[in-house]
Each structure stands twice: as structure tokens, then as C-alpha cells.
Amino acid sequence: MDQRLRVNPILCSGHGLCAELLPEQITLDEWGYPLLADEPVPPSLGRLARRVVSDCPELALALVRQR
């Protein structure tokens, strides 16, 4: 099943760790907040995406099933 990254913008403080770990899916805007790819996480990046979710210092990221 397709999964996508989702950020809770209230929790996110712009640490930027996610963009370092997964630049293929996450870039930072000019203020340091993540811009997520508008596409599902490919299976080859699944493990890294799960790590991004668990390592976010604010626990602001989630992997959600695509609607």
C-alpha cells in the first residue's frame, strides 16, 4: 500500500533532520521548514522514511496510508 509522509505543522520546529536523512523526499523552505514530496514514498526508501519518522526530535512526522 502507498504511504506518504505527513508533517504536523504545529509540532514541527524546523530542526531539519528529516531533510538531511531523506533529501529525495524532503527539502527545506527558506525558513528551515520541511517541504514534502507530493508523491508516495517509494518502497526503496521505506526504511529511511520510517527512520525519519522515529528520529524527528518533535515527533512531528508520520507515515500515512494514501487516501
Partner 1 sequence: MTSAALFPRLLTATGEPMDLMAHLRAHGRTPYRGGPGILIDAVEAAGLTGRGGAAFPTHRKLAAVAGQKGIRVVVGNGAEGEPASAKDKALLWSSPHLVLDGLQVAAEAVGARRVHLYIHRDPRLLRRLQGALAERVAHRLDRIVVGVVSAPPRFLSGEKSALVGRVQGGSALPRFAPPRISERGVRGAPTLVQNVETLAQVALIARYGAGWFRAVGTEQEPGSMLTTLWRADGSNAVRESAIGAAITDLLGLGDQPGQAVLVGGYHGAWLTLEQARQLTLSNLDLRPAGASVGAGVLAALPAGHCGLVESARVVRYLALESAGQCGPCLNGLPRIAATLSQVADHRSARTTSAAHDDLERWSGLVEGRGACHHPDGTVRFLRTALTVFAAEVGLHQERRCSATTGETFLPIPEASPGHKNDWS
Q: Say whether residue 9 binds partner 1 (CB under 8 A).
A: yes
User: Does 66 contact partner 1 by CB under 8 A?
Assistant: no
Are the CB atoms for 62 and 5 separated by under 8 Å?
A: yes
Q: Considering the complex, what minimum distance in angstroms separates the CB of residue 34 from partner 1?
A: 9
User: Among residues 2, 20, 29, 39, which is the contact residue for partner 1, using CB under 8 A?
Assistant: 29
Burial class (CB in 10 A: 0-12, 13-18, 19+), 30: exposed
Q: Is 33 in the site for partner 1 (CB under 8 A)?
A: yes
Do 67 and 4 contact (CB within 8 A), yes or no?
no
Q: What residue ranges bind partner 1 (CB under 8 A)?
A: 8-14, 29-33
